[in-house]
Amino acid sequence: MNSQSKIKRIVIGVFLLVIGIMTYAASSGKLTTAPQNLLGAMAVPFQKVAASVSNKFDLWMDKKININNIIEENEQLKKELSKLRSKQILYDQLAQENNEYKKLLNVSEDVFNYETVDASVIGRDGMDKFYSFTIDKGDNHGIEVNDVVMTSDGVVGVILETGPNFSKVATILSPAVSIGCFVGRDRDIGVASGNYNLAENGACVVDYLPKETTAKEGDIVSSSGYGTVFPKDLIIGTVETVTIDESGNSMTAKVKPAADIMNVKFVFVITNFN
């Protein structure tokens, strides 16, 4: 059977179907509504498809709107979280400063007569064996070279270099920093400074102690005030060991700094102690 015969059979079939519907409509008194019914019956599948497409489109739009709302809400939450983190950082810094000020009360009454600038450590030189670091205050804050840097625990070092809003600090672990000092209850006089071999372990030394010194393990080492850089009676550290020096003419003490030189994060810079 060729394609033309198939088409003829389909056309005849449709024609007979229409005649049948019209005949039924005439016998039931619904002839006038037959075309509408026929068209309605033919339209039902298309209406179902259209309704399905419409529903799916509505669902897609709802999901798209919900996704946009979620994205917007997520961005808002990120902003709020960022603000909270900033507040937390500020709170932590203020809390740390507050604790440092509280501990500073026990250092020396003279500290309250000094002019100081508080500062935060913002960088460290990873190649420096003596743990030098950079703080966030400088010339604009009245800081000058050789100003003393300390924490509430004790002396940290001195200002080595300044910029408008930063300063570099040389610590007491460096041989370049020397402090006239008292040791022990007899207040034997010596010079505290950094030592290349001890710096790695976070220790420094006191040289030129008298041979008859009574200094022993646990004794306090404090600044003597000799010179123009360090005020008197700032805590430097405590004695760990006392040995005779190479010359045999004096004693040397290994000292553990009172301040945590390697991990200090917040300091005070003494800008004037006259």
Mean pLDDT of each 10-residue bin along the chain, 274 residues long:
62 60 56 51 54 63 69 76 62 58 52 82 91 96 96 93 96 96 93 94 96 93 90 93 91 96 93 85
Look at residue 2 in the predicted model and tell me its pLDDT.
58
Q: How far apart are CA 123 and CA 92, in angstroms?
A: 18
Question: What would you report as the CA-atom Rg of the chain, rounded to the nearest whole angstrom?
Answer: 44
Q: Determine if the pTM surpasses 0.75.
A: no
Look at residue 94 in the predicted model and tell me its pLDDT.
57
Q: What's the one-letter identity of residue 254?
A: K
Looking at residue 113, what DSSP letter applies?
G
Q: How far apart are CA 243 and CA 123, in angstroms?
A: 36
Look at residue 125 in the predicted model and tell me its pLDDT.
85
Q: How far apart are CA 73 and CA 168, in angstroms?
A: 44
Look at residue 46 in the predicted model and tell me its pLDDT.
52
Look at residue 161 in the predicted model and tell me its pLDDT.
96
For 88, the 3-state DSSP assignment is helix
For 249, the 3-state DSSP assignment is coil
